[in-house]
Structure 1
């Protein structure tokens, strides 16, 4: 064989080796990808199987408590009460305290306690922390999980390991975390002692876990949509036993559920997975579902009378109004992805992620006005005294009128360097969770804002 023939043979052998190597590499990646996306079958549970029936429940709450995500009714609307509209570092600040670690869950206010969930990444601790409502003094801090955090690549760069808001019936504080690739629900008593913990199912993380638990009569309801096999579950609040669990497909989506009375019945409503779905909150039995919004959503459904409003998300853009039975009434190709919409009972309001405030007619879906606020938003607006309060990711809180007559600014207030959470309103005060600094130097603070003009200097 001449030299040229030898070289040609080696080249041919090298090419064949490369082909075999690339084929093997593709096979390994395919197996890894399929393995990562392997679905875990959801073990559905009915109330007849669990033997747990929902009961009317007398909660130990006062009228002013803000006891769960988006407040007592889950819609972001507070009872009218005197509230400041202007504040700053030296104006109308009653107290502010450090929060250990980081989280995007909003504060709740129950029985003279302000409670948040937080995560300390350096020690892999997920905690629930309680502060005195009147003084800001830390009353207790309970580690509910040590270790078991998801890989950082499985949590969105904007997210944390404590995105959910605590829910409380006045006796127990309940929170759900992603830990050890499971969704684990924890309940703590008024002293911060763990009353029960329950692993409710596997969770395949794409960007982390976001939904907040909500209360319905004697149940706490937790959503866990994920690409490995999503589900929604109702747990007995007293014991943590699973009363019912319903499969929800394989979409990675992040919305919290909402319970409202529409069409004369209580409905458990949730968006995501290219549909808006309704369930019986007592049993988890499906009532209806309607195609819409997007595969991935973050916002919570709201209702007004017999109308159901939802918005999202990614990759599609849609804000939709449905009837109490899921019939499409109107649709607009505008999305609110992370922030949730809010309604005054007649019109629908929202702020887009990129800072555009919008008002729709609730009846027709007509855009009555839109206004660029600037900045970017993750938090959701709350409504009190005809004013909407919403914070952006630069630490500004915008106050404007919930009016169909055009954008009417009331105030713009700056605290800290960012705000991912939504405000809580209780006892004529606003509670904000803010960030100060950036990167590794960023710290979180909890701030109580109220009219302090009557106080001595």
Structure 2
């Protein structure tokens, strides 16, 4: 009954919180995550690069190098978030019309709790590949944050580590086109979120303790799908947004636009990466497009091409770009010139993003086939190929030489998602 009241109140106001006796101080607690955690989308540095000291396996199957597996209720493409002894996932049950967050024990895979954030209000529109839980949870060590589209609006919700709903804030009205998958980004006292859509979206920063809006920027009325990514480039940390025919750099604490140029096509999905001087943008509608842009305020486009990296995000290491096209070609480019160094055929269609671990890149296609190849500018070198399940859209998470993977298995007309922990036995 309490959550039903919260939902009704959130329709009428910008932000709701717990009763006065349960409210927390206005000043958020310090971020408390460890180097061995994977606290938000694209990992600790927000660039898809894992701790290089890890040594995850090169081989696995349904029976080999599986430390544990646990069933996932509902359906979603939210990637595993790992902090402390907990793993968090967002999911949704279309039959019961619920959107919820799940928490698992990191060592055993036992489900610890499930918190329903919304009941009802699910749209029937969207791409067949989309889900009602495609946003990845962010965790600051004291709370978890998740974005959902519900009842025609984008909401960010904060839960305690024990699953108690603390606050919920409406970001903007939202018209579903293909779907929604933007993930929250934690920065100092803020959680930064975005919700671009055909009705006119927004990028906003919320106080982590209260959910109150600290700053908010209106966005053009076009469909668009990236998450806000905060990276240090051109000597300063910036919130980087691509799409809506724009590339934008924003000061994370104030919301001030540092620079903005036309570019990056209308609809983008990938999260941008940087070598500290250039940021990489890519889009897939209305045309395929990759560009290297200076983020020093000039917005100069240094180079561009027409390759299709629409969904999988790219990686940068030692001024080399490593990526996988949507149709399964691994590519290495020089980040400064855009010159192609090599390419190699993998197989299948890719929606999951690659992850770099030391000198190895792991990437999984939609059929559950994971390819491992070397991050080397010399040549394409395939190191391994593994199959698990029948469908994978979520990007795997790498912590302590273990791989946490969200996998779907279909058989006898039924579909079941599983959370796997892959590691050396």
User: Given the superposition, is the C-alpha separation of residues 174 and 233 from structure 1 closer, same or farther in structure 2, using an over 3 Å criterion?
Assistant: same
1:371 Cα shift?
Answer: 1.5
Partners in 2 of 1:447 and 1:278 — Cα distance? 37
Q: State the TM-score, normalizing by the size of structure 1.
A: 0.85
Residue 65 of structure 1: aligned partner = 37
Unaligned runs of 5+ in 2: 1-13, 15-25
Residue 5 of structure 1: aligned partner = none
Write out per-residue CA displacement over residues 65-122 of structure 1, whole angstroms, 9 at most, x where no aligned residue. 0000001111101111121111111111100111000001101101111110000000
- Point out the structure with max Rg over C-alpha: 1
Name which of structure 1's ranges 139-148 and 267-276 shifts more when overlaid on structure 2: 267-276
Residue 10 of structure 2: aligned partner = none
Higher helix share: 1
1:290 Cα shift?
Answer: 2.3
Residue 316 of structure 1: aligned partner = 287
Residue 204 of structure 1: aligned partner = 175
Q: 1:368 aligns with which of 333, 338, 341?
A: 341
Q: 1:239 aligns with which of 199, 210, 213?
A: 210
Partners in 2 of 1:218 and 1:84 — Cα distance? 37
1:3-152 correspondence runs (5 A): 58-80=30-52, 81-150=54-123, 152=124
- Following TM superposition, the consecutive aligned residue runs of length 4 or more in structure 1 with deviations greater than 2 angstroms are 54-58, 290-293
Residue 398 of structure 2: aligned partner = 425
1:280 Cα shift?
Answer: 0.8
Asked whether 1:226 is paired with 2:177, we answer: no
1:293 Cα shift?
Answer: 2.3
Write out per-residue CA displacement over residues 228-248 of structure 1, whole angstroms, 9 at most, x where no aligned residue. 011100000111001111011
Q: State the TM-score, normalizing by the size of structure 2.
A: 0.91
User: Given the superposition, is the C-alpha separation of residues 197 and 438 from structure 1 closer, same or farther in structure 2, using an over 3 Å criterion?
Assistant: farther
Partners in 2 of 1:304 and 1:57 — Cα distance? 31
Residue 387 of structure 1: aligned partner = 360
Secondary structure of the 2:197 match is coil
Write out per-residue CA displacement over residues 306-331 of structure 1, whole angstroms, 9 at most, x where no aligned residue. 12111111111111111122211111
Q: How large is the RMSD of aligned CA atoms in angstroms?
A: 1.5
User: Given the superposition, is the C-alpha separation of residues 191 and 163 from structure 1 closer, same or farther in structure 2, using an over 3 Å criterion?
Assistant: same
1:252 Cα shift?
Answer: 0.1
2:27–2:209: 8 Å Cα contact kept in structure 1? Answer: no
Q: 2:304 aligns with which of 316, 325, 331?
A: 331
Partners in 1 of 2:39 and 2:228 — Cα distance? 15
1:273-422 correspondence runs (5 A): 273-325=244-296, 326-422=299-395
User: Given the superposition, is the C-alpha separation of residues 439 and 212 from structure 1 closer, same or farther in structure 2, using an over 3 Å criterion?
Assistant: farther
Unaligned runs of 5+ in 1: 1-42, 44-53, 453-457
1:246–1:284: 8 Å Cα contact kept in structure 2? Answer: yes
Residue 183 of structure 1: aligned partner = 154
Residue 217 of structure 1: aligned partner = 188
1:391–1:397: 8 Å Cα contact kept in structure 2? Answer: yes
1:305–1:345: 8 Å Cα contact kept in structure 2? Answer: no
Partners in 2 of 1:275 and 1:338 — Cα distance? 18
Give the length in aligned residue pairs. Answer: 398
Secondary structure of the 2:419 match is strand
1:200 Cα shift?
Answer: 1.6
1:356 Cα shift?
Answer: 1.1
1:131 Cα shift?
Answer: 0.6
Partners in 1 of 2:160 and 2:28 — Cα distance? 21
Residue 17 of structure 2: aligned partner = none
1:57–1:217: 8 Å Cα contact kept in structure 2? Answer: no
